[in-house]
Structure 1
């Protein structure tokens, strides 16, 4: 009887329960390519992406050292016969009565003011959506997030009509006001608040007698500082490079942004060929503030973006 049971007992499978035997050659099929080949392929793709990204910047660094005839002759990546950077920059800030300096100042005002206002509004809204309960909370939040899906070009004309009715077109307010609202910043602030601010800490502040505003300013805002910095940098870069909104709202040359001003010069190359050199040098100069702001703060920016991406 025992021998009969032993013969009918199914063979015992090796390995963990619930796992199928890959069969002969299964593991070898999955690991057919060596690890160094996979790593080399990933490294090659990253190198190609890096070269593709940096190539225009390298060309710009070579071009900023050249005179106008040198820009049209030879290879774009060939060095200049002389070093004309300082002469080019001096001409950039003196041509047309120093208009480029005015454009830089306008852009700095738009970017700093708009980024600060958008950051404060986004952090406050994200904190409220995360920590407070009110009627229609999720519906309002879904409506805000829907704004991320709407391209800016689709709302520029309605914004222009609203600003025209308010008689704000061709003023700095027509550019500044639309930049204050940032739906993506609200989303990022709520995600960061949910992952970084424990509810027990807020309850402790309320027990100590702090009101909601004081709790937000003294506790919530301090903890959300890395996330707020991330929102500020994203908004600052977006405003600094913004072109379409100022082009629609502004006609006064003294209110132009750098992007709009360089576009104006580029459109007038047929009248003044030297504008080509000014556009090239101006494009290089406009990247300096972004590099000075982004590179020292990239560690905090990456930390804030990673924390906000947890949710």
Structure 2
């Protein structure tokens, strides 16, 4: 066992992630349980090694968005009956991170020898509902849906570039973004496309780390709060970034705001009337949910997550 980011993890020598089932009548999709019994199933690949942050999913509890809720708590009230045993194995292939390893040189801020602060996609994070498990793949550019009891693939939804965050599940809809500059809404049970909306100002693609991406990829995932969907299309601080808010039922635009000198990448945190968005080494920014205007920053330094 190893401890990683405050959670106990299992170390394997194959590129696989595994589910385990508790010795009870309940069907539990899991591999390992964090100390706070959070429902956090993540698939982590490092070269030829696989790391897993694993917990259990009880039938009465869902895990509808990245780290469970819009405050990214990573905590569930569900509990387990131990010990756990392996139920099935799924091979998802190694992820292809947006930013690999520490930065040797930051030309924009003229800094050298910096550690990575954009490590938001080292693994395939998951969401779960309807006895199904979902994950976005940076390897094959698809959203995947698996049966939580058997591990059998139910459907795949392909995009034109990497999907770096799991979908946000609202009812029978699965919302997700892609590095191709679009957001998608799929039927959570069948994978049928319900919405494809361009978040980037153009559909142009450029080469990046062996992939083709939009100059304005959607790397924030989709945050659904009070019936509205929030997401950003952003990459480089010297290019305009775009923050979107649309109605989660009708997909009608509530607002679109432009921001200069920022790079909005990492999951959006929502709390009160504010949005909090990480942006690499720069301090996370805060914005008003109602109009998308910037209200300030958090501290002086950046990082992958808003805490």
Q: TM-score, normalised by structure 2?
A: 0.21
Q: TM-score, normalised by structure 1?
A: 0.21
Q: Which is richer in strand?
A: 2
Q: Which has the higher contact order (CA 8 A, sep 6+)?
A: 1
